[in-house]
């Protein structure tokens, strides 16, 4: 074989070695936040492609509008107005490759190295990684079952300002938080708005799980509680259709959108996907969400029951009213990080709390996702998890 060309001296100072990861799956996979492949609306999506293309397929000959398909933006704006009480139009948003891209470009637009950014004490790993990548000093705020604790938020901000730090924004996942599963109450949302308002700090609301409610009353969005443009909002089709669609959106005041947009690479999102989703939104998406949520509730119940049967009273968990996760707390001192690889080798995967923590604390917690596995797999797998943890001495039932 010919000698291979060497790029080593050519890489930019900013580039990092980050090979596209291949996800490892175990027999009982409670780590991945995927939907159940058996619940995907494939027939409806095929029909959506057909009808969309019959009407507008020839327009694929052109590059689409920079902000993404105007019709899909209009449909999303109507949905947000109807369901999240947001006063927005198609012009207030840009379509992105999943909400991950929305988060990434907003972080880049608002973060200089050393800036303090606030997050819930355990937070979605993808956001945490992106914040770290752009040099943010990520600081966690205490939470309880109702969401962010306002008094802690206030003292964290005051402390950071006293240290001479610039606190740029609060990132929050208020509905079916990843990984903790709770939904922030209305009262808390108002208090969080008040505390951040007092310090002149904007809120970045990541609402990607809002549609996955299978129980209880909806809580209105942060965005709807503010009329000053202080709340920036991201949403996604990953959790209501499929992550493979790679479609999300960022809603923000124009100057913020325009700065964030400048970090977007590759131009507008796929018009193929946008057209398909717009058709699906008009024909069947709401019904699909309802069916999917029913299935998620059955799985949540199966996981809660299995936890009850297999773990003693020293282990506790939050029962979520929607979303994909159960957040389980083991006694202080339990190290679920140290045994994660061994448990994986024995057939069960999870993420432990330290992976979601800005400080790396919390290895006595684990996040179990009930979206992807079947109810049988959930029942068996939680039993297996208890057996393995008992066998290796991490837990005694």
Nearer to ligand PLP, 122 or 311 (CB): 122
CB distance 177 to 322 below 8 Å: no
Look at residue 157 and give its three-state secondary structure: helix
Q: Which of 29, 71, 115, 206: binder of ligand PLP (CB under 6 A)? A: 206
Residue 136 or 315: which CB sits closer to ligand PLP?
136
3-state helix, strand, coil in the chain (%, to 5): 40, 15, 45
Nearest Cα to 369, choosing from 31, 24, 23, 26? 31
Could you give the CA distance from residue 78 to residue 47 in angstroms, rounded to a whole number? Answer: 23
Radius of gyration of the chain (CA): 22
* CA 315/CA 48 separation, integer angstroms: 46
Q: Is 356 in the site for ligand PLP (CB under 6 A)?
A: no
Residues between 30 and 69 with contacts to ligand PLP, criterion CB under 6 A: 33
Nearest distance from C-beta of residue 55 to ligand PLP, angstroms: 27
Check binding of 248 to ligand PLP (CB under 6 A). yes
Question: Within 278-307, which residues bind ligand PLP (CB under 6 A)?
Answer: none
Q: Is 320 in the site for ligand PLP (CB under 6 A)?
A: no
d(CA 364, CA 230): 36
Among 172, 191, 238, 377, binds ligand PLP (CB under 6 A): 238
Residue numbers 103-132 binding ligand PLP by CB under 6 A: 124, 126
Q: Does 323 bind ligand PLP (CB under 6 A)?
A: no
Structure tokens at 359: 């400080």
C-alpha distances (whole Å) from 360 to each of 23, 49, 139, 341 are 22, 44, 11, 17
Nearer to ligand PLP, 28 or 204 (CB): 204
Q: In angstroms, rounded to a whole number, what is the distance separating the alpha carbons of residues 349 and 358?
A: 22
The residue among 131 and 173 lying less far from ligand PLP, judged by its C-beta, is: 173
- Nearest approach in angstroms of CB 207 to ligand PLP is 9
Nearer to ligand PLP, 311 or 327 (CB): 327
How big is the site for ligand PLP, counted in residues (CB under 6 A)? 14
Q: Which is nearer to ligand PLP, 208 or 257 (CB)?
A: 208
Give the number of other Cβ atoms within 10 Å of residue 168's Cβ. 19
Yes or no: say if 88 and 81 are a contact pair by the CB < 8 Å rule: yes
The verdict on 184 binding ligand PLP (CB under 6 A) reads no
- Answer yes or no whether residue 270 interacts with ligand PLP by CB under 6 A: no
Smallest gap from Cβ 162 to ligand PLP, in A, equals 30
Question: Do 209 and 248 form a contact (C-beta atoms < 8 A)?
Answer: no
Where on the chain is the footprint of ligand PLP (CB under 6 A)?
33, 98-100, 124, 126, 173, 178, 206, 208, 236, 238, 243, 248
């Amino acid at each position: 074989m010919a000698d291979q060309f060497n790029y080593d001296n050519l890489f930019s100072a900013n580039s990092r070695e980050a090979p596209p990861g291949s996800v490892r799956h175990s027999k009982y996979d409670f780590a991945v936040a995927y939907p159940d492949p058996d619940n995907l609306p494939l027939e409806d999506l095929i029909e959506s492609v057909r009808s969309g293309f019959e009407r507008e397929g020839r327009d694929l000959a052109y590059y689409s509008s920079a902000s993404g398909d105007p019709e899909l933006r209009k449909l999303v704006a109507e949905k947000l107005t109807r369901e999240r009480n947001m006063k927005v139009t198609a012009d207030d948003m840009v379509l992105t490759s999943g909400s991950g891209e929305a988060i990434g470009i907003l972080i880049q637009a608002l973060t200089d190295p050393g800036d303090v950014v606030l997050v819930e004490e355990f937070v979605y790993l993808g956001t945490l990684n992106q914040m770290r990548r752009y040099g943010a000093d990520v600081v966690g705020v205490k939470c309880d079952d109702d969401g962010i604790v306002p008094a802690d938020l206030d003292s964290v901000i005051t402390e950071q300002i006293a240290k001479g730090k610039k606190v740029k924004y609060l990132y929050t996942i208020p509905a079916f938080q990843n990984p903790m599963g709770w939904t922030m109450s209305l009262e808390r949302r108002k208090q969080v708005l008040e505390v951040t308002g007092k310090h002149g700090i904007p809120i970045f609301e990541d609402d990607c799980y809002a549609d996955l409610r299978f129980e209880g009353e909806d809580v209105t969005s942060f965005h709807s509680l503010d009329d000053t443009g202080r709340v920036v909002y991201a949403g996604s089709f990953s959790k209501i259709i499929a992550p493979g669609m790679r479609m999300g959106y960022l809603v923000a005041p124009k100057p913020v959108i325009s700065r964030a947009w400048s970090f977007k690479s590759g131009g507008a999102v796929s018009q193929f996907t946008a057209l398909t989703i717009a058709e699906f939104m008009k024909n069947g998406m709401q019904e699909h969400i309802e069916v999917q949520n029913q299935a998620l509730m059955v799985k949540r119940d199966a996981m809660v029951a299995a936890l009850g049967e297999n773990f003693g009273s020293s282990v506790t968990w939050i029962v979520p009213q929607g979303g994909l996760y159960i957040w389980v707390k083991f006694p202080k001192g339990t190290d679920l990080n140290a045994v994660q690889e061994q448990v994986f080798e024995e057939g069960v995967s999870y993420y432990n709390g330290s992976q979601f923590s800005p400080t790396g604390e919390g290895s006595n917690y684990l996040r179990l996702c009930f979206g992807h596995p079947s109810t049988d797999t959930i029942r068996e797998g939680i039993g297996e998890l208890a057996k393995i943890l008992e066998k290796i001495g991490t837990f005694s039932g």
